Amino acid sequence: MQRADTWQHTTVLLAEAIEALLTSPDGVYVDGTFGRGGHSRALLARLAPAGRLIALDRDPQAVAAAADIADPRFSIHHARFGELAALLPALGVAQIAGLLLDLGVSSPQIDDPARGFSFRFDGPLDMRMDPTRGESAAEFLQRADERQIAEVIRDHGEERFAVPIAKALVARREGGNPVRTTRELSELVARAVKTREGSQDPATRTFQGLRIHVNAELEELEQGLNAAVDLLQPGGRLVVISFHSLEDRIVKSFIARESRSEVDRRVPFAPERAHRLRALARVRAGEAELRANPRARSAVMRVAERTDAAAAAPAAGRGRA
């Protein structure tokens, strides 16, 4: 079997992300999803000697891949970006000039059958981004009832056939043969889903829903976004690359909400809470990148800037995403 560190990853929106993120070459930046380090290496190439880059990843294989970066300005930490609020103060960092989040699953994770992320290969039904903690997808399907399974597949996978899929999973489990591998799950879904639009594999949405649930990806994103606003210095940038509508909807709504001034209706004479972000851009991959890397087709990058709260108060409502 191919070694896990040999699967290649093509970084999406590389130049666009660095251009959007970098405002001060001597600032402190965070790459919250190191992956295989494409964005981090490009950012280091642009940082001044006084700059600093703190990288995080919840995947131990990704952390190991950073071992070849011998740069005193760089550090890597086995952590989730939702832990930023606690991690950065522990590192002596009070504010940052920018945070980059490249969400979703990396190519090495997808292409390694042992990780269980893809129905294209047969392997254990794991799907954990950090295989050292939490329950696998197979373990969740072993303990959850039909309603819980259907909710996960419907809400996180946006699968309209969630109920028949859940019924089939529970029936198989009660028959003494629970789903344990990616191929078993894929074949079960193909039998339960009677029709599918276009060329999409019937199992696509089920795999997405289980993966998002197992890794608590949407909760993690909310935590990371909230931490980012508190940690960004005035003028600091938030850059988030999403790969499906659930993620992008959260990012879009968060930026829109933080781009508005608000009045506390419980205290009529209180001053407005000044908005903290200003939406700057929504970026998609260009044709050249799409030809070279088809996985970039679903990528959406949103960029926002931390405002100076005191100066921003008169600009209520500006910069909605």
Which segments of 40-103 are extended strands (E)?
A: 52-57, 74-78, 96-102
| Contacting residues for 110 by C-beta, under 8 A, at least 6 apart | 117, 118
Strands 74-78 and 96-102 turn out to be unpaired
Of the pLDDT bands very low, low, confident and very high (cuts 50, 70, 90), residue 316 is very low
- DSSP character for 177? -
What does residue 242 show for φ and ψ, rounded to 5 degrees? -110, 155
pLDDT computed for residue 269 by the predictor: 60
In the chain, residues under CATH classification 3.40.50.150 are 4-107+217-315
Q: Count other C-beta atoms under 10 Å from residue 287's C-beta.
A: 7
- How high is the pLDDT of residue 191? 95
Per-residue pLDDT tens digits for 171-212: 999 999 999 999 999 999 999 997 776 678 999 999 999 999
CA distance 136 to 207: 12
Q: Per-residue pLDDT tens for 53-69?
A: 999 999 999 999 999 99
Neighbours of 311 (CB within 10 A): 10
Residue 151 has pLDDT above 50, yes or no: yes
| Residue 194, pLDDT score | 77
CA distances from 133 to 58, 64, 127 (A): 10, 17, 12
pLDDT of 311 reads 41
Q: How confident is the model at residue 259 (pLDDT cuts 50, 70, 90)?
A: very high
pLDDT digits (tens, 9 = 90+) for 100-136: 999 988 888 998 999 999 999 999 999 999 999 999 9
What pLDDT is stored for residue 260 in this prediction? 87
Q: Which residues pair with 21 in a beta bridge?
A: none
Nearest to 53 by CA among 109, 1, 96, 101: 96
What does the CA dihedral 91, 94, 99, 102 come to, rounded to 10 degrees? 40
Q: What are the start and end residues of each CATH 1.10.150.170 domain in the chain?
A: 133-214
- 52 - beta bridge partners? 28
133-214 sits in which CATH class? mainly alpha
Mean pLDDT of the chain: 90
CATH class of 4-107+217-315: alpha beta
- pTM beyond cutoff 0.75: yes
Residue 1's pLDDT is what?
A: 35
